[in-house]
Amino acid sequence: MSDAESKPIFVRGRPVPDASVTPVVHYYRAEVGRGNVWRQRMDATTNWAIGASTAIVSVAFSRPDVPHVLIPIGGVLVFLLMCIEGRRYRLYDVFRSRTRLLEAHMVVPYLMHDVDLLPGGWRANLAEDLLQPSYKMSFWRATGSRLRRNYIWIFLILMLAWTARVAARTTPGIGGAQFVPTAVDAAHVYQGFAYGPLPAWAMLGLTALYFGALGAWIYLAGRSPDPDQMVYVRLRARETQWPL
């Protein structure tokens, strides 16, 4: 393809007829409102995860007889909340993409008069998405994004709290076992990770596999193609690529 053919094609004209401006503006406000609602739901899920982690760590350190394995079990609850937030992020992205479409193709031309408009068939694409709504990203990519931005830090804090709980020595005392400040050695911490029939090496091995899987999820979700192929497939088939 030559340089002349690879250059973007410009078309002139207004983005929508004048009679359609008011309905489209009201529709834009509605999409922004729906996007804000789902954004608030995403924030609420993150708050639930932080609150649940705080409560789990507080209970684990409240009494020496509380098993330390409560903290990694609480990580399972945080993982489920992360999956819920990934689903909500997919829904939020649907409304975000529609508002972005209107901003780029309708608002910008009205702000900059007498300019060439970019092509892309955006009105047909928006109408098709309204008739047949679809996600713009897969659950894998959406959840991986929330893991990279928020939840990986929660998991790391839980891991540090688990290590601190294991390192805390206990001694029998009046009214039950008590925490006592003593020097901590690596052998004590290592042996403390054992729980029930599971030895310390098994617990640490499972933890390493878990964090390795989270790291691979973050890496692959941000760099691999969308496995669901729910978006951009139609645009790849076109000669003129349009990013919105």
Q: What's 148-177 look like in SS3?
A: HHHHHHHHHHHHHHHHHHHHCEEEEECCEE
Residue 203 lies in a domain: yes
What is the domain count for the chain? 1
User: What is the domain extent for residue 105?
Assistant: 3-161+199-236
Q: What is the pLDDT of residues 15-65, one digit of tens each?
A: 777 777 788 889 989 999 999 999 999 999 999 999 999 999 999 888 877
Residue 45 lies in a domain: yes
Q: What radius of gyration, in Å, describes the C-alpha atoms of the chain?
A: 26
Residue 123 lies in a domain: yes
Residue 226 lies in a domain: yes
- This prediction has a pTM of 0.76
The C-alpha atoms of residue 129 and residue 31 are separated, in whole angstroms, by 13
Position of tokens 């909340």? 81
Residue 84 lies in a domain: yes
Residue 175 lies in a domain: no
What pLDDT does residue 152 have? 93
Tens-digit pLDDT string for the chain (244 aa): 455 555 555 555 667 777 777 888 899 899 999 999 999 999 999 999 999 999 999 998 888 778 888 999 999 999 999 999 999 999 999 998 889 888 877 777 777 766 666 666 778 888 888 888 888 888 888 899 899 989 999 999 999 999 888 887 654 444 445 555 554 667 777 777 888 788 888 888 988 998 999 988 888 887 655 544 444 444 444 444 444 4
Residue 179 lies in a domain: no
Residue 85 lies in a domain: yes
